[in-house]
């Protein structure tokens, strides 16, 4: 029986092209699925925008639905001026969504099950928030840490809490996505492993449908999680971007 | 199979938990940066402007069509109002014409009636006059007839005719009584 964590291994498909900080840069299964993810998104969007007619066809309708969905999410969370971040939120949502869903295919690799990937994406969000917030609001951006309407004597405590919560955002953002995907795939692998183990176990084979049913149920759950986590990431990104646009709550 | 399991476990043991294997971080970050940068470029420069322009165009088309429809509706209502005022004025005109005609006809018949009445009354007067004339004429002859009759009666009674003067005198006195 293969280890449940084997599916997360990075496999090198090439010799190192070059080294960054002593680490080899190779084409890996992870890289392949990142490329595949972007190819799927780009292919879908090209298909959706090929005709660009007033009365949309199927693909165009799907593309417009996706567009409106992400735009509405961003508008509700970050306000109307939040639409300057539309390409970023759209890219993040589609990238995570497609990477999650591709990861559910048998024998595939889940890009988002690696903490370094989710951490990089959430750092991108937080750095965008800080960079844009400071560039747009200057020193006033520090109002993010000072909620209005708090009595003076309570302020130091509140500010401390706000600072901690602000800087724990990228951690929670990345760990939430990573842990959800990782746990789901491990659970899938373990239950599927039970099926194989029971089948090989003689009389115990009669029990094998049980974990199989569980596996099917978990696959359904994982599809839900894959979509939900992409949505959660997009919503939280929009909420954090709201701070960059309107510091001081 | 057993061998593959062993090697898999060995690899896992060797590198530990794969997501925490720092050796692969640089490579993953490199490819993530590459692919995500391309995705961002593609989304922001090509896909979203295309979809956005289509949606905008459709919204504009719908708006202009709605505005056009509203304009046409207003025009139709205007035409309806014009038609209704036209109809109302035509009704008023028709009523006035009918009234006028009735009044004219009534006047005409009244005048004709008057003329007729006058004519009739003048004819009646003529006739009355003729009757009166005839009557006086007849009455004038009464004396003569009476005189003739009286002289004839006297002649039969007395055998001789009285003089005309005496008869006339007697008739006159009898008539005057």
| B93 to A24, B81, B85, B86, B90: CA distances (angstroms) | 102, 18, 12, 10, 5
Where are the extended beta strands (E) located within chain A? 18-20, 23-25
CB contact under 8 A, A6 and B58: no
Rounded-to-10 torsion of CA A134, A136, A139, A140: -120
Which residues in chain B are closer than 8 Å to A31, comparing Cβ atoms?
27-28, 31, 35
Containing H/E element for A148? none
A38 touching chain B per CB within 8 A: yes
List pLDDT tens digits, range B144-163: 888 888 888 888 888 777 78
Cα B37 to Cα B50: distance, rounded to the nearest angstrom:
19
What pLDDT is recorded for position A206?
A: 86
Res B13 pLDDT > 50: no
Evaluate whether B154 touches B162 at the Cβ level (below 8 Å).
Answer: yes
A181 touching chain B per CB within 8 A: no
Cβ neighbour number for residue A101 with a 10 Å cutoff = 18
Res B128 pLDDT > 80: yes
- Residue B44 is classified by DSSP as I
Q: What is the CA radius of gyration of chain A?
A: 22
Cα A20 to Cα A13: distance, rounded to the nearest angstrom:
18
Cα A85 to Cα A70: distance, rounded to the nearest angstrom:
11
Cα A89 to Cα A230: distance, rounded to the nearest angstrom:
10
Interface of B with A (CB under 8 A): 4-5, 8-9, 11-12, 15, 17-21, 23-36, 38-40, 42-44, 46-48, 50-55, 57-58, 61
Res B8 pLDDT > 50: no
Take residue A73 and report the two structure tokens written for it: 């999410």
Q: Nearest CA to B58 among A59, A53, A50?
A: A53
Return mean pLDDT, chain B: 86
Q: Coil, strand, or helix at residue A11? A: coil
What pLDDT is recorded for position B5?
A: 41
Evaluate whether A181 touches A111 at the Cβ level (below 8 Å).
Answer: no
φ and ψ at A97, to 5 degrees?
-60, -50
What pLDDT is recorded for position A96?
A: 97
Cβ neighbour number for residue A65 with a 10 Å cutoff = 12
The angle subtended at Cα B71 by Cα B70 and Cα B77, nearest 5°, is 90
Cα A177 to Cα A247: distance, rounded to the nearest angstrom:
26
CB contact under 8 A, A41 and B39: yes
DSSP string, B122-135: HHHHHHHHHHHHHH
Q: Which whole number is the average pLDDT over B130-142?
A: 87
Cα A202 to Cα A212: distance, rounded to the nearest angstrom:
17
Res B164 pLDDT > 50: yes
Take residue A141 and report the two structure tokens written for it: 């951006």
Contacts of B95 (CB under 8 A, 6+ apart): none
Q: Which whole number is the average pLDDT over B94-120?
A: 95
Res B7 pLDDT > 60: no
Containing H/E element for A139? none
Q: How many residues does chain B have?
A: 177
ipTM of the complex model? 0.91
| A23, β-bridge pairs | A20
Cα B73 to Cα B143: distance, rounded to the nearest angstrom:
104
Q: A-B interface: how many C-beta pairs under 8 angstroms? A: 145
Cα A125 to Cα A115: distance, rounded to the nearest angstrom:
15
Rounded-to-10 torsion of CA B26, B27, B28, B31: 120
pTM score, whole prediction: 0.74
Which residues in chain B are closer than 8 Å to A10, comparing Cβ atoms?
18, 21, 24, 27-28
pLDDT tens for the 249 residues of chain A, in order: 568 888 888 888 888 888 888 888 999 999 999 999 999 999 999 999 988 888 888 999 999 999 999 999 999 999 888 899 999 999 999 999 999 999 999 889 999 999 999 999 999 999 999 999 999 888 888 888 888 777 888 888 989 999 999 999 999 999 999 999 999 999 999 999 889 888 888 888 888 888 899 999 999 999 999 999 999 999 999 999 998 888 875
Q: Nearest CA to A40 among B40, B39, B34?
A: B39
What pLDDT is recorded for position B12?
A: 43
Evaluate whether A44 touches A63 at the Cβ level (below 8 Å).
Answer: yes
Instruction: Please name the member of A41, A64, A86 whose beta carbon is closest to the beta carbon of B55.
Output: A64
Where are the extended beta strands (E) located within chain B? none
């Amino acid at each position: 029986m293969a280890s449940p964590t084997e599916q997360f291994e990075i496999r090198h498909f090439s010799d190192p092209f070059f080294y960054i900080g002593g680490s080899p840069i190779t084409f890996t299964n992870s890289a392949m699925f990142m490329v595949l993810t972007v190819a799927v998104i780009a292919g879908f969007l090209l298909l959706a925008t090929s005709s660009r007619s007033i009365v949309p066809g199927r693909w165009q309708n799907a593309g417009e639905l996706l567009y409106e969905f992400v735009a509405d999410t961003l508008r509700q969370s970050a306000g109307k001026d939040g639409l300057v971040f539309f390409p970023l939120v759209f890219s993040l949502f589609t990238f995570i969504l497609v990477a999650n869903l591709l990861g559910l295919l048998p024998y595939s690799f889940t890009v988002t099950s690696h903490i370094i990937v989710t951490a990089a994406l959430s750092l991108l969000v937080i750095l965008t928030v800080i960079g844009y917030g400071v560039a747009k609001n200057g020193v006033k951006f520090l109002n993010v840490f000072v909620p209005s309407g708090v009595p003076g004597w309570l302020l130091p405590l509140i500010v401390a809490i706000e600072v901690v919560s602000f800087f724990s955002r990228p951690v929670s953002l990345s760990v939430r996505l990573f842990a959800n995907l990782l746990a789901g795939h491990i659970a899938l692998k373990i239950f599927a492993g039970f099926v194989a183990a029971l089948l090989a176990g003689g009389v115990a084979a009669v029990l094998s449908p049980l974990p199989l049913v569980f596996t099917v149920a978990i696959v359904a759950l994982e599809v839900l999680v894959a979509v939900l986590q992409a949505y959660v990431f997009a919503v939280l990104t929009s909420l954090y971007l709201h701070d960059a646009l309107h510091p001081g709550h | 199979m057993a061998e593959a399991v062993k090697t898999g476990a060995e690899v896992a043991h060797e590198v530990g938990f794969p997501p925490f294997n720092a050796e692969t971080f640089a490579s993953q970050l490199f490819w993530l940066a590459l692919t995500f940068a391309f995705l961002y470029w593609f989304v922001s420069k090509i896909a979203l402007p295309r979809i956005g322009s289509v949606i905008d165009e459709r919204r504009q088309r719908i708006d202009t069509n709605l505005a056009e429809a509203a304009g046409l509706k207003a025009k139709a209502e205007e035409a309806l109002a014009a038609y209704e005022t036209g109809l109302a004025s035509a009704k008023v005109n028709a009523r006035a014409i009918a009234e006028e005609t009735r009044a004219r006809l009534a006047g005409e018949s009244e005048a004709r009636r008057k003329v007729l009445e006058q004519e009739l009354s003048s004819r009646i007067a003529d006739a009355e006059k003729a009757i009166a004339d005839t009557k006086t004429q007849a009455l004038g002859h009464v004396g003569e007839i009476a005189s003739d009759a009286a002289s004839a009666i006297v002649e039969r009674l007395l055998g001789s005719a009285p003089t005309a003067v005496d008869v006339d005198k007697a008739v006159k006195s009898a008539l005057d009584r």
